[in-house]
């Protein structure tokens, strides 16, 4: 199987659930409102295409630092590779200087992106130390300047991905969202946590609902959506225009098919069989090897293999052995053999 082959039931378009309707983002149409969240080190070109083949209507690239001096680096080239992607293509950029952010936005449009997504949610120390990512939420005037700069730099929709705020008790997402709308941002994705929360506790959806009620651009709800029922719950809690799924898609890109099926029929799909998992994993591995080449392909594939095999009997011992494989051919062989024994 190819990772681009359609795996959705053909009747999927007949549903009238709001999350299965097309979404307009700044004049571009997204097929449905199920999105895969940007995840650095995970949502590379092969993974984005895989999620879309399972029914994700939209995917955003991994974060690309807004510094054109870094663009020739191998990591940036991989992150900004949109070959064979289903449109619309969205490139995520992060930075704290309006001029650099504008330049990066222009560059990514030239590079093939059709939507620019601004990251103001990343909690990583490395990013926050440069007052980028979620650290920006501490300076709302700078937020507005950055958004203005990006929106004015390109003749394409600019979206924003952010959190509820920087610190608990000082959540400022309502003001940030208002300023985003005023700047001409085309849609806003909100992870229901603050930077202080990092990934702890549970995502909070009440403030996302308040944002939805206070602005008229599309609001995308994100955080802890790990099943079809949870997607429906978050939709009901927030009234959001779309849902965005991150960690729950790791090792289970078919979650988009599960959600689509549930929203369309009300039935929960059975978990995929090991045979189907094998088919998906092997196709994914081949794509990773083709994309990254022998050395990086083998290393980057390891985490995906670990996610895919979690929960399969004896997978702990298998993973230890798999980590020792240094070639793509050897890795492919051990994965195929392990999954075959569980078919």
Contact status: 36 vs ligand FMN (CB under 6 A): no
Q: Can you tell me which of 35, 225, 285, 288 binds ligand FMN, judged by CB under 6 A?
A: 225
Among residues 198, 307, 200, the alpha carbon closest in space to that of 254 is found at 307
201 lies in the binding site for ligand FMN (CB under 6 A): no
Closer residue to ligand FMN in complex, CB, 91/153 = 91
Look-up: residue for tokens 């990772």? 3
Q: Among candidates 244, 173, 186, which has minimal Cα distance to 214? A: 173
Q: Which of 95, 246, 253, 297 binds ligand FMN (CB under 6 A)?
A: 246
* x-or-dash string of contact with ligand FMN, 274-313, rule CB under 6 A: ----------------------------------------
Which position among 42, 158, 277, 281 is part of the footprint of ligand FMN (CB under 6 A)? 42
Task: Please select the residue that binds ligand FMN; options are 63, 109, 164, 243, rule is CB under 6 A.
Answer: 63
Count of residues of this chain found to bind ligand FMN when the rule CB under 6 A is applied: 22
Nearer to ligand FMN, 7 or 234 (CB): 234
Token pair for residue 2? 């190819």
> Least CB distance from residue 246 to ligand FMN, whole Å?
3
Site for ligand FMN in 108-167 (CB under 6 A): 119, 121-122, 161
* Of residues 16, 85, 81, 27, the one with CA closest to residue 56: 85
User: Could you give the CA distance from residue 47 to residue 105 in angstroms, rounded to a whole number?
Assistant: 23
Q: Strands (DSSP E) along the chain, which ranges?
A: 23-25, 28-30, 34-36, 58-65, 90-94, 115-120, 158-165, 187-194, 219-222, 242-245
Angle (CA) 235 50 272, round 5°: 75
247 binds ligand FMN (CB under 6 A): yes
Residue 122 bears catalytic tag: yes
Q: What is the phi/psi pair of residue 190, to 5°?
A: -125, 120
92 binds ligand FMN (CB under 6 A): yes
CB of 2 to ligand FMN, least distance (A): 26
Catalytic residue chosen out of the listed positions 51, 122, 128, 240:
122
- C-alpha pair distances (Å), 42 with each of 14, 117, 301, 303, 334: 32, 17, 10, 9, 22
Q: State residue 84 phi and psi, 5-degree precision.
A: 60, 20
**Which strand (E) or helix (H) includes residue 36?**
strand 34-36
Q: At what angle do helices 228-238 and 255-265 cross, to 10 degrees?
A: 60
Our separate counts of H helices and E strands in the chain read: 12, 10
Q: Tell whether residue 62 is a contact of ligand FMN (CB under 6 A).
A: yes
Nearer to ligand FMN, 96 or 339 (CB): 96
* Structure tokens belonging to residue 19: 């999350």
Binding site for ligand FMN (CB under 6 A): 37-42, 62-63, 92, 119, 121-122, 161, 191, 222-225, 245-248
Q: Which residues are annotated as a binding site?
A: 38-40, 92, 161, 191, 222-224, 246-247
Q: Which residues are annotated as a binding site for FMN?
A: 38-40, 92, 161, 191, 222-224, 246-247
- Which residues does the annotation mark as catalytic? 122
């Amino acid at each position: 199987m190819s990772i681009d082959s359609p795996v959705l039931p053909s009747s999927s378009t007949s549903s009238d659930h709001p999350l299965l309707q097309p979404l307009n983002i700044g004049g571009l149409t997204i097929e449905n409102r199920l999105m895969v969240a940007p995840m650095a080190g995970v949502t590379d070109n092969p993974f984005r295409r895989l999620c879309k083949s399972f029914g994700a209507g939209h995917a955003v690239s991994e974060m690309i630092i807004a510094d054109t001096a870094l663009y020739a680096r191998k990591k940036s080239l991989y992150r900004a590779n949109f070959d064979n992607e289903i449109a619309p293509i969205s490139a995520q950029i992060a930075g704290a200087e309006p001029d650099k952010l504008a330049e990066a936005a222009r560059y990514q449009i030239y590079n093939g992106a059709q939507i620019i997504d601004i990251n103001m949610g990343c909690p990583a120390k490395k990013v926050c130390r440069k007052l980028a990512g979620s650290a920006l939420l501490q300076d709302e005037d700078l937020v507005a300047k950055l958004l203005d700069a990006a929106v004015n730099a390109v003749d394409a929709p600019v979206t924003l991905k952010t959190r509820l705020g920087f610190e608990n008790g000082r959540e400022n997402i309502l003001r940030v969202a208002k300023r985003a709308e005023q700047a001409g941002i085309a849609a806003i994705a909100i992870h229901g946590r603050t930077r202080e929360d990092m990934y702890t506790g549970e995502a909070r959806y009440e403030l996302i609902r308040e944002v939805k009620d206070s602005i008229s651009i599309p609001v995308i709800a994100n955080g802890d959506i790990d099943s079809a029922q949870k997607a429906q719950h978050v939709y009901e809690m927030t009234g959001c225009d779309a849902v965005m799924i991150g960690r729950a898609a790791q090792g289970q890109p078919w979650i988009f098919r599960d959600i689509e099926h549930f929203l369309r029929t009300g039935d929960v799909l059975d978990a995929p069989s090991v045979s189907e998992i094998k088919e998906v994993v092997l196709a994914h591995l081949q794509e990773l090897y083709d994309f990254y080449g022998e050395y990086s392909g083998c290393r980057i594939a390891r985490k995906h293999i670990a996610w895919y095999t979690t929960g399969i009997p004896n997978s702990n011992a298998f993973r230890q052995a798999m980590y020792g494989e240094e070639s793509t051919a050897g890795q492919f062989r051990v994965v195929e053999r392990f999954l075959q024994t569980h078919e």
